[in-house]
Amino acid sequence: MTQPAIVWFRDDQRVADNPAVDAAVASGRPLLCVYVHDEESDGIRPLGGAAKWWLHGSLRALGAALGGRLTIFRGPGDRVIGRLAAEIGAGAVYWNRRYDHAGREIDARLKHVLKDCGIIAESFNGHLLYEPWTVMTKSGGPFRVFTAFWRAARRSGEPETPSPGPKSIAFYDLPAGVKALRLEDLHLEPHAPDWSDGLRETWKPGEAGGRRQLKTFLEQHLVHYAAERDRPDKAVTSGLSPYLRFGNVSVREVWQAARAAAARSGCDGDLDKFLSELGWREFCYHLLFHEADIARRNIQPRFDAMPWHDDPAGLQAWQRGRTGYPIVDAGMRQLWATGWMHNRVRMIVASFLAKHLLIDWRQGEEWFWDTLVDADPANNPASWQWVAGSGADAAPYFRIFNPILQGEKFDPDGAYVRQWVPELADLPPSVIHKPWTSPAKPDGYPDPIVDHAFARRRALEAFAETKGE
């Protein structure tokens, strides 16, 4: 009897263009498809609430795509997979690589144990266009500047062509003595209270949902991407971030489909801008691989001397969308309602927290980690550090967004603010981003919790301390 193969799913929850699945099918072995919910291994960061909600839907969709043949366990990933391989007499284990320090250590440990037991253990690239060690400087080190990184990545060649996935899969039946879990046993969805109504109305997790999202973007919005991607009042961004984060769609498939769509419509400038956003994702994973703990440690050590403020009231006002700055509050309310926020607004609200309120960027990163459906171990901390000024190739700390001007520039008619801050719905565009100047001050909406000019001066004085001035 042919020994079975285990396919260990992680952030690659799809069947098409999944190299681990392709390799397992090509082996000719019957497959046991496994997901392990690991919140116990050292260094593994447990998911936040919104990401857990997405994970539940994503695993449900993956299970359906596999004909109900997804087997679920809980515990330290390497121990669970190692024990399972021994229990079923597996001949091989296949998975797609991850790039954080803890995940890499776990995978290396498992690969060593399996090979010592005579079990084939193979890993693949199922998550990136360019793996971190394949794009290096001329001196052999990692890049710290995005433009140089992306230029070198593009020079290295086109990404691999995505695979359509197997036509059929022969499955292995789990022995009766091996106890697995139901998806519901992971308790990923919120209860008492259930705050996920807005998420359910906004998203359809899973491979089919990701394909629909990609199709809609390419057919309707790619041709406007370069000109309107910074407009939160216009739905022209791809909306693919959570699907890429959980691997519901392959980044190679997105790349190939975008290039084909641009060739048909002749929107090369829009394509280049969109592909550079995929490039930023690649750069964030480059940093995650080469830098230690980017969610906790300043990439630029001089920011260790930054005099952050302990301001629970300011933090709570920011979290609840009650800062008195409409573009900030609209973004934070969109985040709470949908588990997502427009990228331009993410930069505005992050700048406001780190610079107007002088609250440590890590507190903002933690809030996003808990509330974003696309909370990503690379993108989330790297982007927060970019805004805060502490990261690689970061925006200069002295670049302090004026939330009034940002709102007027990117939401000129106030449509985005009206959608998410209904207290201001009756204000004209001339004052909607500075409602305190309106003769008819809206009831129930707060005054600014900090004056912009004062906050800017204070932030620059604080930054001077990181330079020993």
Q: Which residues are catalytic?
A: 277, 280, 308, 343, 361, 384
Report the C-alpha gap between 304 and 466 in whole angstroms: 8
Give Cα separations from 313 to 70, 318, 461 (angstroms). 45, 9, 22
Report the C-alpha gap between 95 and 10 in whole angstroms: 8
Report the C-alpha gap between 304 and 306 in whole angstroms: 6
- Closest by CA position to 11, among listed 347, 388, 375: 375
Report the C-alpha gap between 108 and 78 in whole angstroms: 9
Residue 59: other Cβ atoms inside 10 A = 22
Residue 22: other Cβ atoms inside 10 A = 20
Residue with tokens 């839907």: 57
- Residue count (the chain): 469
The encoded tokens of residue 260 equal 């084909």
Report the C-alpha gap between 120 and 20 in whole angstroms: 13
Kindly write down the DSSP assignment for every residue of 187-254, as one continuous string.
Answer: --S--SS---HHHHHH---SHHHHHHHHHHIIIIIGGGHHHHTT-TTS--S---HHHHHTTSS-HHHH
Give CA torsion, residues 27, 33, 38, 43, to 10 deg: 20
CB under 8 Å to 179, separation ≥6 — which residues? none
Kindly write down the DSSP assignment for every residue of 101-132, as one continuous string.
Answer: HHHHHHHHHHHHHHHHTT-EEEEE--S-SS-G
| Angle 79-81-86 from CA coordinates, rounded to 5° | 95
